[in-house]
Structure 1
Amino acid sequence: MSSAPTCAQVLMHLLREYQVEKVFGIPGVHTIELYRGLPGSGLQHIAPRHEQGAAFMADGYARASGKPGVCFLITGPGVTNAATAMAQAYSDSVPMLVISAVNRREDLGMGRGRLHELPRQQDASRGFCIWQHSLTDAEQLPQVLARAFQLLASSRPGPVHIEIPIDLFPAPMPGKLDDYRARPPALPAAASSAAVATAAEWLGGAERPAILLGGGAQAAGISAAAIAEKLAAPVFLSLAAKGIIDERHPLCGGANLSFDCVRERVENADVVLAVGTELAETDRNLVRPDYAFKGKLIRVDIDPAQLVCNAEPDLAICADAAETLRQLNEALPVGGATEQQSAADEVAQLLADCRREWWPGSEERYPWVQALRAALPEDGILVTDSTQLAYNTNCALPCYSPRSHLTCTTGYGTLGFALPAAIGARLSGERDVLALIGDGGLMFTLGELAAAVEQQLPLPILVWNNSGYGEIRDFMDEAGVEQEGVNLSTPDFVALAKSFGAGGCRIERPEQLGPAVAEALNINVPTLIEITA
């Protein structure tokens, strides 16, 4: 007679049942019994070099695939090391499942100084998780996982943290592994017919409508484009929404909400449809006040709290973005070609006006943006860190498909995101991925080059090397503050990359970028391409 499965084995089995394919983590003394359940589970384990890298990889995997990224963390330092990356995922509404160990149940709250002990471990992650649970009985696991995946699929996503006492990993579970099955997620929440009818009436009667899309509209691009065409309305994107509508579409005004000409157009629209967006300050420029909507504002969001955040709506629809726009598209009549052409001409003029508002240094860097767009495959994914060239790509580099632009330059705005997130994105499928990171940010997570080499990833890593924190240096100069802590001694990045077993080269001119990226995409190791800024 076969022995009963353990809690760890059931966990791995259920993760596969929920369509998880890869997990990111670093094993430790407290998770050895967890890892006993890994062989034969069908899960691929990716070993980063730091737990922050594990969570950033899970983040990039989730953003690129639309499926939850999964991390395994040890007790205490594993959780705190991953905290920054989890907070970035929370800020950007990225679905992430974090499974961590915690000390034995008999030790919890006793303060005995056990190894890796973090008193009240859940308190450490409470501020950046949408839900937490501490398992107290192994047989609770199926129900807890069902709740976790339901939340990740049917509400505003973010990290979910489940901690499992180390004495529960080897605990026996009833029945056989095949007895444990995933529970189906809820159907997408539809808008009420009355709300759709009101929205359709307002938008259909508008003379100067506008559409704003945020990251919550990732699956709504087809319907959003159809609605824009019917209304002859310009569409503007948050940074998290880049690519939801092909930015070559004549009605797409790109991610340009921070510029005055777009602000004026949106504020003076008679009806604005805002979908899956916080209307946050990082979408409209940090120093600008909230948009003052003079016409009617319709907001669609799965999170009821966001419906009244940063701007009060005239019509609030708490429902799934894709389902709501599908309903709304069906309710609207077909528009005219003449009105569409007039709106397209307006968008073209707005884009030209935005360029005249670009901040200092942008024009000088624009040839690099053009070279980067030409080097990036049409369906490729660009992953960017907080660095000067990345800020220019936000508004000046068009994206052609959903989930093709992953950035940490909004919201939480940490450094070190791009390299590990690009690794996660590349592991999510067959799409080519490019990472763009500054010399300062790269030093945060440089060790993850080893993980990319280990996984044999054809991954170009563009390093914008301006020998320091260039953006902060400029801000200090503008504020009349003497420069301190912003001019860095940078290593020989190319030599470092080669020491990891990666490729490496230096370029100085935009025309060198395309050939360097093409070569990097054709070898099975990452290539660090240093750009002398």
Structure 2
Amino acid sequence: MTSIGEALVSQLVERDVEVVFGIPGVHTVELYRGLATSGIRHITPRHEQGAGFMADGYARVSGKPGVAFVITGPGLANTLTAMGQARADSVPMLVVSGVNTLSSLGKGLGHLHELPDQRAMAQTVALLSERVEAAEELTPALDRAYAPFSTGRPGPTHIEIPLDVAGSEYTSASATSAKPAVHVCDSDQIAQVCEMLAGAKSAVILAGGGARWSGVPLQKLAETLGAPVVQTVNARGVMFDHPLGVPASASLNAVRALIESADVVLAVGTELGQTDYDMYATGKMAAMKSLIRIDLCPDQLARYEAELAIVGEASVALDAINAQLSGATANHHGQDVAAKTRQEAYEEIGPEMRALCEVLTAMREAVPNAISVGDSVYPIYAGNLYYDHDRPAGWFNAATGFGALGFGIPAAIGAALAEPTAPVICIAGDGGAQFSLPELMCAVDENLPITFVIWNNFGYQEIATSMQAVGVTVLGCDPTPPDFEHVAASCGMPFWRIGAEPETVAATLKMAQATDGPRLIEIRAPNQSHNVS
């Protein structure tokens, strides 16, 4: 007999799932029945939130949905934070959970892991939540859960399978899952875009995370137009070291001025969200003349009015524009304008953030083409303001959007599993690292060559600074960190404790790359102590 749980695993294999992140429990035993012989690699985190963050990091690097198996009740609840981060950043993630027996649902009978309505809880974060109650419902539920990954703005989806259903016989016919949609942009709209761009004298392109895999057509269009390209955090690397690239936050005054000077603004794969375009919460976005938007999600396009809104995948739309664009005259001053904006933006972020950017640049040069995964920590804040990365989709963190602490360590593990040949560097603070410190042992179990960099300023320095800025007495911002040398020793990891000088950081990173498996570097932040008051 093939059970519904086994059929689920088989259908995940058919959908090219190679890795599942999960902690088995009594409510998911039947999901594991066919896993050992399926060819899917199972990764065991130390907490379900870690499973979600690992699935997130895996998806961002692989371009495929990350998959997590979690138990009923607390397991799913623990995963919600990671699902929230994935939703904010449009990351495809499938969370499969158990749920109590069908006959008990909603009755408050005091069963193990019971919730009043588990799906209702999941639906507050997930794009959709499905329940499989019979064999014939499995494939349609998977089709619906996978649909947002290929037909719209991706994000987390959820499927729950009751205890008494997962182990029952799979009697349905062979699966005939839906095929991914083929994106075709409206030809009349593409013609309108080409007409607007051909007539532009000072076009500017805004590239978001939806354009991170579209570097070739994006660069081609930018060069045709002589248009500077402003990259949000999730698009960094798509225009590395390009004279038209502006790897700086659109919240900076210099970048806002560039956007407002444009006679046509083309926004590709960006939601135009606050944490990218108004992180200082001024309440105003840069004014955009003749705004053209390209996005997979019609609902997202409706949230910010544009002169022309095109539903479509970034690379498809850009290829169509490049194929049809004629008569455009490149702005010969575009490179000069981009260079001026870069210089002014770099000056604007101030000496403290510039010093941190120098550390990031030293790290990039010491370990080229690395995947850099970050938590909410000072060097990441600095990089999000101004930093040019040398790998598309290789710079991402949780300091924008949902802003979940604890993201860095597990997401780096997911990234390393998605791209085993790439060096992975995780940058976390001493505070954020403590949210997910046990996940270091998952990296040890899998022998992943990740360099974990802990920026230790002995507390929540960014929060303390924010409290001081508004005259609030600093409280609760100085949790004592562990001795990271002892943490590394307990995990069997090589360890270095260094200062924050760029040359020291670079030299240590190079040494670390010569070791096998995970390793840990603690950087003692300058001018910091346990007292952040």
TM-score under structure 1 normalisation? 0.95
Q: Deviations over 1:4-46 (max 9, x none)?
A: 3111111111111100000000001111122112121111100
Cα distance in 1, alignment partners of residues 464 and 366 from structure 2:
29
CA contact (8 A) 2:131 2:141 kept: no
Q: Residue 253 of structure 1 aligns with which residue?
A: 246
Relative distance call for 1:360 and 1:107 in structure 2 (3 A) is: farther
2:399 counterpart of 1:409: yes
Cα distance in 2, alignment partners of residues 383 and 202 from structure 1:
38
2:63 counterpart of 1:66: yes
Select the residue among 461, 467, 475 that pairs with 2:452: 461
Q: Residue 443 of structure 1 aligns with which residue?
A: 434
Q: Residue 516 of structure 1 aligns with which residue?
A: 508
Q: Deviations over 1:164-202 (max 9, x none)?
A: 0011111111378xx4455421112x2211111111101
Runs of 5+ in structure 2 lacking a partner?
526-533
2:146 counterpart of 1:155: no
Q: Quick check: 391-400 or 487-496, which moved more?
A: 391-400
Q: Quick check: 33-42 or 381-390, which moved more?
A: 33-42
Q: Deviations over 1:287-339 (max 9, x none)?
A: 23332435211111111121132x31011112222211111111113766xx4
Cα distance in 1, alignment partners of residues 512 and 143 from structure 2:
41
Q: Residue 209 of structure 1 aligns with which residue?
A: 203
Q: Residue 95 of structure 2 aligns with which residue?
A: 98
Cα distance in 2, alignment partners of residues 62 and 288 from structure 1:
33
Cα distance in 2, alignment partners of residues 249 and 292 from structure 1:
24
Matches within 5 A, 1:391-430: 391-429=381-419, 430=421
Q: Residue 528 of structure 2 aligns with which residue?
A: none
Q: Residue 529 of structure 2 aligns with which residue?
A: none
CA contact (8 A) 2:60 2:91 kept: yes
Whichever residue aligns with residue 182 of structure 2, its letter is L
Q: Deviations over 1:264-297 (max 9, x none)?
A: 1212211100111111110122323332435211
Whichever residue aligns with residue 232 of structure 1, its letter is G
Cα distance in 2, alignment partners of residues 404 and 364 from structure 1:
22
Q: Residue 258 of structure 2 aligns with which residue?
A: 265
Q: Deviations over 1:108-166 (max 9, x none)?
A: 11110000111100111212111110111122111211222222122100001000001
| Shift in Å, 1:212 | 0.4
TM-score under structure 2 normalisation? 0.95
Q: Residue 26 of structure 1 aligns with which residue?
A: 23
Q: Residue 495 of structure 1 aligns with which residue?
A: 486
Q: Residue 179 of structure 2 aligns with which residue?
A: 184
CA contact (8 A) 1:14 1:180 kept: yes
Whichever residue aligns with residue 436 of structure 2, its letter is T
Please give the secondary structure, in 2, of the residue aligned with 1:167: helix
CA contact (8 A) 2:20 2:40 kept: yes
CA contact (8 A) 2:6 2:30 kept: no
Cα distance in 2, alignment partners of residues 43 and 521 from structure 1:
28
2:368 counterpart of 1:377: yes
Cα distance in 2, alignment partners of residues 130 and 221 from structure 1:
28
Q: Quick check: 474-483 or 13-22, which moved more?
A: 474-483
Q: Residue 387 of structure 1 aligns with which residue?
A: 377
Please give the secondary structure, in 2, of the residue aligned with 1:434: strand
| Shift in Å, 1:357 | 0.6
Cα distance in 2, alignment partners of residues 341 and 394 from structure 1:
28
Runs of 5+ in structure 1 lacking a partner?
none
Select the residue among 183, 186, 189 that pairs with 1:195: 189
Cα distance in 2, alignment partners of residues 175 and 159 from structure 1:
27
Whichever residue aligns with residue 324 of structure 2, its letter is A
Whichever residue aligns with residue 392 of structure 1, its letter is A
Cα distance in 2, alignment partners of residues 175 and 477 from structure 1:
63
Identity %: 43
| Shift in Å, 1:84 | 0.7
| Shift in Å, 1:376 | 2.8
Q: Residue 142 of structure 1 aligns with which residue?
A: 139
4+ runs of 1 displaced by more than 4 Å? none
Whichever residue aligns with residue 233 of structure 1, its letter is A
Whichever residue aligns with residue 370 of structure 1, its letter is T
